[in-house]
Amino acid sequence: MNNESQYRVYPYRWIVLVVFMFTNLAIQILWISYAPITGLAAAFYGVTDLQIGLLSMSFMIAFIPLSIPSSWAIDTIGFRKSVGIGAVMMAVFGVLRGFAGGNYTFVLITTFGLAASQPLLLNSWTTVSAKWFPENQRATAVGLVTLANLVGTAIGMVLTPILVESGTVISQVQLVYGIIAVASAVLFLIFAREKPKSAPSALAVQTRALMLEGLKNAFSSKPFWYTLAVAFVGLGIFNGVSTWVESIIRPRGFSPTTAGTLGAVMLVGGLFGAVIIPAISDKQKKRQRFLYIAMIGAIPGLLGITFAPTLFLLMSSAFVLGFFLVSALPVAMQYAAEVTVPTPEGTSNGLIQLFGQGAVVFVYVMEAMKTKSGSFTPSLLLAALLLILTLFFISQMKDVEL
């Protein structure tokens, strides 16, 4: 048989998506939880701001060598087993980091253990959507996973400084986050399924190339290279601002709690962007125009974070930056999956994440370009120029007929 009657969309897809979203939420809490308390954490562990920044950057550093092997695992043994392994690793190292006390060395080691689990979670986004969702819901599904990531980051940004400034020991806060990771891992292992009994569409049963052939096919596509460039810039800026958020606004007299709130507002904007823009993109079956909108819209938000002297302008700019910058990721990921057929979704997804996380170099550049007074203005202006550069890349990314 080769007709529409053999395809079926199951309501259970939402349960699979929700438990998968929870694992992504948990890893983001663990990633970002030191960023809004950089100064306080440096004093607690007796180290420098840069060493605290390394706890966030370790995720990006580990992603570079582990992304391709993680994509291979996802494409070979399936996303359920792969994400299950990542979720268990996250739970174990998350709890261990909570027991580290004031020992920075042990915190760093366990953080790299957490970082090793992240590629198995992040590289599965489009695989889950491809196996469970029809074409007209796939960017939306990826957008919802992006939303979960943002909620996790927001929790880490807002809750951590509140708890620490209220007197809770930093190591105890980390133990709470480790327990959240355990809960997410248990729920995923219980409720996640590899794929439905019947595929949601013809494209879902289409034979995908093996990983090596998939890599060759992806890298032979010029639009895919431009997509990688957009991801490199977009995720580099997002991770850079998230990592150094407290240091960026500290010279203007803002507190760690304000830094956490700023990061959360940026993420709230991202929540709306990750849901609204991909859904419209799915409805119109267009990707290029929404990538234009995302990059152009992010520029005034970034400039606002750079120069805003008042709390209102600072928070408004953060919302705008989050809304537009974050919305680009699920659209770009779905575009990459479409333009690289028959490359496996896990491979194209993994390459996008790899290039985005490889932008850790920009996080280092931001620190290196910091002025003697502690200002991040030069690096933030560089980021704005890079956003303008992406407009050329997007002009070369023509839509694929779905």
Residue 270 sits at φ, ψ, to 5 deg, of -65, -35
pLDDT value of position 153:
83
227 Cα distance to chain centroid: 16
Residue 261 sits at φ, ψ, to 5 deg, of -65, -40
pLDDT value of position 293:
95
Q: How far apart are alpha carbons 299 and 320 in whole angstroms?
A: 9
% of the chain at pLDDT higher than 70? 95
% of the chain at pLDDT higher than 90? 43
Q: How far apart are alpha carbons 63 and 99 in whole angstroms?
A: 25
Check whether 9 has a pLDDT greater than 50. yes
pLDDT value of position 2:
47
Given the structure tokens 């105890």, which residue do they identify? Answer: 172
Mean of the per-residue pLDDT values of the chain: 87
Of 2-16, 227-241, 322-336, least confident by mean pLDDT is 2-16
pLDDT value of position 230:
92
Of 4-8, 60-64, 175-179, 248-252, least confident by mean pLDDT is 4-8
Which tens digits make up the pLDDT trace of 220-277?
889 999 999 998 899 889 888 887 888 888 888 787 778 878 888 888 898 899 889 9
Predicted TM-score (pTM) of this structure: 0.73
Q: Which pLDDT band holds residue 103 (cuts at 50, 70, 90)? A: very high
Q: Which pLDDT band holds residue 315 (cuts at 50, 70, 90)? A: very high
Q: Where are the alpha helices (DSSP H) in 133-169?
A: 138-165
Q: How far apart are alpha carbons 394 and 331 in whole angstroms?
A: 12
Q: Give the Cβ contact number of residue 350 at 10 Å.
A: 32
Higher pLDDT, 99 or 360: 99
Six token digits for residue 356? 């985005």
Q: How far apart are alpha carbons 401 and 298 in whole angstroms?
A: 27
Q: How far apart are alpha carbons 161 and 157 in whole angstroms?
A: 7
Domain ranges of the chain: 11-194+211-395
Virtual torsion, Cα 272, 267, 93, 65, nearest 10 deg: 90
Check whether 16 has a pLDDT greater than 60. yes
Q: Average pLDDT of 308-333?
A: 90
Fold of 11-194+211-395: Growth Hormone; Chain: A; (1.20.1250)
Q: How far apart are alpha carbons 178 and 267 in whole angstroms?
A: 22
CA angle 120, 235, 138 (to 5 degrees): 60
**Residues in the chain, overall count:** 402
Q: How far apart are alpha carbons 127 and 54 in whole angstroms?
A: 30
Q: Average pLDDT of 181-200?
A: 92
Q: Which residues contact 242 (CB under 8 A, 6 or more apart)?
A: 32, 35, 56, 153, 157, 263, 266
- The answer to whether 117 and 86 are in contact (CB under 8 A) is yes
Is residue 167 within a helix (H) or strand (E), and if so which, with residue range?
Answer: none
Of 10-24, 125-139, 221-235, 315-329, least confident by mean pLDDT is 125-139
Q: How far apart are alpha carbons 402 and 394 in whole angstroms?
A: 19
Q: Which pLDDT band holds residue 390 (cuts at 50, 70, 90)? A: very high
Q: Which pLDDT band holds residue 202 (cuts at 50, 70, 90)? A: low
Considering only the C-alpha atoms of the chain, give the largest distance between any 2 of them, rounded to a whole number of Å. 70
